[in-house]
């Protein structure tokens, strides 16, 4: 999953980004003002936006309103130092999906991020089930027919993204855009490598091909 953090406090932005990368396995981009944040959110397919309210150049409320006016439905978690009832009501009425008040616990922030991403993709439970494959988004474990599957960090990220979109065709470009940050290499063949590794591990001893390739289109995780 790919997350955009729009926060003008550089140290806080870096700490949040590092926590999301290390503890949730997310790709993270950072914008330090509202104008850059709006441009990046308009230009890239993020799975979640973490948005501070008090930003230079354009405040967070205006960024949120501009995104919703364009029907950009990215889930938004607001980082706010305000806890007045009126501010929270205004945020939710403007299209925010959730909020967390500074200072916040990093573990709670990550849990909220995971829950928002799951809900935005139509999943209410932490364990994604596709056929006999279970993907636990809390502890990043995977089983097939009850058999534990040991994956590398990137293999897990590819599988989790596919599990969020079961039976849908997911292109290589879409995977790259959602699993890598702003500096990703469009010519890279790493996705093919990870898909090959996933197939080998998931299909060991089974005649059923879980991940199918549609030539020229992408990959499908079927149930």
Name the average pLDDT for the chain: 90
- The answer on 185 and 88 residing in a single domain is no
| Residue 111 and residue 133 share a domain | no
pLDDT band at 37 (very low <50, low <70, confident <90, very high): very high
The pLDDT tens digits of the residues spanning 154-194 come to 999 999 999 999 999 999 888 888 888 776 665 567 888 89
Q: What average pLDDT does the segment 119-124 reach?
A: 88
Reduced to 3 states (helix: H, G, I; strand: E, B; else coil), residue 17 is helix
Do 87 and 139 lie in one domain? The reply is: no
Q: How many domains does the chain have?
A: 2
Structural domain of 36? 2-120
Q: Can the peptide bond before residue 222 be classed as cis, meaning omega within 30 degrees of 0?
A: no
Q: Are residues 110 and 10 part of one domain?
A: yes
pLDDT tens figures, 142-154: 999 899 999 999 9
**How large is the average pLDDT for residues 45-57?**
94
Q: Are residues 136 and 184 in the same domain?
A: yes
CB atoms within 10 A of CB 163: 20
Same domain, 50 and 103: yes
pLDDT tens sequence across 22-33: 999 999 999 999
Domain endpoint, select from 120, 143, 168: 120
């Amino acid at each position: 999953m790919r997350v955009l953090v729009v926060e003008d406090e550089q140290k806080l932005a870096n700490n949040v980004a590092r926590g999301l990368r290390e503890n949730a396995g997310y790709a993270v981009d950072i914008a330090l003002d509202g104008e850059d944040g709006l441009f990046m959110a308009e230009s890239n397919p993020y799975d979640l936006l973490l948005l501070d309210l008090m930003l230079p150049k354009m405040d967070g409320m205006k960024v949120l309103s501009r995104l919703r006016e364009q029907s950009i439905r990215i889930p938004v978690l607001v980082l706010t130092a305000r806890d007045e009832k009126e501010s929270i009501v205004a945020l939710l009425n403007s299209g925010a999906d959730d909020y967390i008040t500074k200072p916040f616990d990093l573990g709670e922030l990550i849990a909220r991020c995971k829950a928002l991403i799951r809900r935005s993709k139509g999943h209410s439970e932490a364990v994604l089930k596709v056929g006999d494959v279970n993907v636990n988004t809390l502890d990043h474990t995977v089983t097939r027919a009850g058999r534990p599957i040991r994956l590398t960090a990137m293999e897990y990220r590819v599988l989790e993204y596919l599990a969020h979109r079961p039976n849908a065709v997911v292109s290589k470009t879409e995977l790259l855009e959602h699993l890598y940050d702003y500096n990703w290499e469009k010519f890279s063949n790493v996705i093919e490598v990870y898909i090959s590794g996933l197939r080998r591990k998931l299909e060991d001893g089974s005649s059923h091909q879980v991940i199918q390739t549609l030539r020229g289109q992408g990959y499908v995780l079927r149930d």
